[in-house]
Amino acid sequence: MPKDLRDGASVHWIELGDESGAPALALHCALAHSGAWGGLAKALGGRLSIIAPDMPGHGQSADWDGPESGDFHDNVTGIAETFLEDGMTLIGHSFGATVALRLAETHPDKIRRVVLIEPVLFAAARESAPKLFAERREAARPMMEALEHDDPETAARAFTGTWGVGRSWHDMNDRARRQIMRQMRIVQNTETALTWDGAGLLHDGRLEGCTMPVLFVRGEQTEPILAEIHATLMSRLPDAREAMIEGAGHMSPITAPDAVGQTIAAFLDES
């Protein structure tokens, strides 16, 4: 379990899969950690040699320095870029999937294929599904207001109640709850990138330049806006397809790793 300075941050990562497999980089969702990929990596057999880093403020990586260190999406992208190599497969979930998409846009020559599990790029639905976009903004309001009033516990309860972390707030121990409460300032900082496309992922030509195969994976019971996000992104990507995980929600890589793994394995075998 290596740890080193990456783009100026102390970053911990783990290596999963088979070292003889194709190189891959797996980027977890907000509030999770690199270990969240364990079940999925096992389901993929020896197809991939996976590097799975902990984002700043997550897992065993150093804490995030806050807004003074810049935009969190920029920070994670800079760290992830240091792991890239030719012929890489990118796998990302939720926030991590938006970073994976950004890497595919900026380094298409290095990326062999991409798996995006419910990228929460809400800005993609702003024009195509304005009603769902407005509903998502309204649903997020209690969390954002709690953060503005320095109430991370209320914010954490609201966030995990919608998006989950693989277990309920009630089932978490005090240590896990405190960790998520500390991470809520990170969630707050991602608003610009995810809701308003601060990183420019939707700018003209960026999606169209991703000519590699892209698989979108969506849980059957996830938030409705994810279907619209997928549809918008897929309409502009030259080689994209979507798979549905029956009975799963937003946290499918953790709650249904075998089903997600089988879906991704089929994609890997054909691409």
- 30 pLDDT more than 80: yes
What residues contact residue 187 under an 8 Å CB cut-off, 6+ apart? 30, 31, 143, 155, 159
107 in Cβ contact with 80 (< 8 Å) = no
Q: How confident is the model at residue 5 (pLDDT cuts 50, 70, 90)?
A: confident
Calculate what percentage of the chain has a pLDDT beyond 70: 98
The per-residue pLDDT for range 55-92, each reduced to its tens digit, is 999 999 999 988 888 899 999 999 999 999 999 999 99
Calculate what percentage of the chain has a pLDDT beyond 90: 80
pLDDT at 238: 98
Burial class (CB in 10 A: 0-12, 13-18, 19+), 35: middle
The per-residue pLDDT for range 102-142, each reduced to its tens digit, is 999 999 999 999 999 999 999 999 999 999 999 999 988 99
pLDDT at 165: 61
Q: How confident is the model at residue 1 (pLDDT cuts 50, 70, 90)?
A: low
Q: How confident is the model at residue 167 (pLDDT cuts 50, 70, 90)?
A: low
Q: What is the 3-state secondary structure (H, E, C) of 84-103?
A: CCCCEEEEEECHHHHHHHHH
Superfamily of the domain at 3-125+196-270:
Alpha/Beta hydrolase fold, catalytic domain (3.40.50.1820)
Average the pLDDT over each of 18-27, 35-44, 170-179, 229-238 and give the range with the smallest value: 170-179
Average pLDDT over residues 136-156: 91
Average the pLDDT over each of 16-30, 59-73, 90-104, 220-234 and give the range with the smallest value: 59-73
Delimit the domains of the chain by residue range: 3-125+196-270, 130-191
pLDDT at 66: 81
Determine the residue type at 100.
A
Calculate the CA 13 to chain-centre distance.
16
